[in-house]
Structure 1
């Protein structure tokens, strides 16, 4: 049985954690399959939008502390997360739009991955937590990423207490973008993904890359980089198609080329 499934339909790739008997906790095998799935999505020319989902009642129970070859290792008798710089949850370069569809508890490693998604759609039954500090372990990637998305105190509420945050509170602080009833979760994510595929995929990626890279640039450097990206995107076939479709008053047929 695959611990992570990859399904592509109408340019939308759904990557699903599939270890429900263990709360989708990340062991070594699941981590390898998850990284492979995100690499596949990144390289798949027919995949324009990605959805991160899971099976079972728990989105992700975090790292599997029983698996020293998985998401955690040991050092000096304590647990520590192995660095995964090129994996999705730890910052691989991926500029395709991504959506997280979260139900139930979303802990530690799972929340780190969710934070890399552009849109977080959650069930009203979802909860979010970085529980590492409660076993004496610092949160690293989450501590880097969370304050960039939330106000400082709201980020520290999650990072420094280790306590779960309810879905309503997560929506209030901006961690969750949309809140839906449990049976509406995947349909809501799929519908939003469908809407995203109506835009030119290469233009989307260029726009997201500009937004991502210029966050740490000065104004002049940001504008210069943006103009370079505009020229790169302007040389694609999709731009010609978009202009033709506008002139002919028809729906464009994007090719991601």
Structure 2
């Protein structure tokens, strides 16, 4: 499926979702956001899609929200973008338990960084930078302020959120925002290779494991264990469990079906 502002490509169980507005630094306007939401919805619902890579065309990963959306004025932008948040978008907390990877090159700003924060693995080029610049134009960061302290130490999160200044890729690796740092020429190949590694595991078992990790973050110990055991039984009723045990006994590579 190819869309004008976002592309979705599925190959060997790996979906690559690409921001495709390079002439505008992949800034997020209303149209791009609709297509991006559609791409994430497709990945969530498509049974053959096991792992997603979020990336972008051009030298800029994402310049943030498009201040010239609609009529080309900040007022119009505020009316069409900020005042109508997509609560169930990937960036705003869609329940999605398939593995996700962000492959980031160049500046990753505002809304783009919010999306990256929802990915399980952030692989960045040494030329990448990260910023939440909203406070420098008098606007609070909301979803980023909710998510970032859950991933970083408090002061490191506040460094990004309260100064609005860009953080280098090396600094982002140091504080834990970036998982793996690579040379620009190696970015896409590294992301693809890691996605292929992830597809070697049973996809339904992965999703159950990620869901347990996600949901139990706010649970007590007893509730967490009970929920985990329920998920173990759910996953245990799948065909992939039989295949995994059979492959282990036969000393061969399992052939997962996602069922």
Find 1:243's aligned residue among 226, 245, 254. 245
How far does residue 74 in structure 1 lie from its aligned partner after superposition?
Answer: 2.7
Map 1:220-235 onto structure 2 (within 5 A).
220-235=222-237
Match of 2:36 in 1: 34
State the aligned residue count: 254
Q: SS of 1:120's equivalent?
A: strand
Q: Is the 8 A contact 2:43 2:52 kept in 1?
A: yes
Q: Which runs of 4+ in 1 moved over 6 A?
A: 69-72
1:61 matches 2:58? no
Q: Is the 8 A contact 1:28 1:67 kept in 2?
A: yes
1:175 matches 2:177? yes
Q: Is the 8 A contact 2:68 2:77 kept in 1?
A: no
Map 1:1-257 onto structure 2 (within 5 A).
2-67=4-69, 73-74=77-78, 80=82, 82-257=84-259
Give the unaligned 5+ runs of structure 1: none
Q: Quote the Cα distance in structure 2 between the aligned partners of 1:167 and 1:9.
A: 29
* TM-score under structure 1 length normalisation: 0.96
Give the unaligned 5+ runs of structure 2: none
* TM-score under structure 2 length normalisation: 0.95
- Give the superposed CA RMSD: 1.6
How far does residue 69 in structure 1 lie from its aligned partner after superposition?
Answer: 9.0
Residue deviations 1:120-172 (CA, integer Å, cap 9, x gap): 00000000000000000000000000000000000000000000000000000
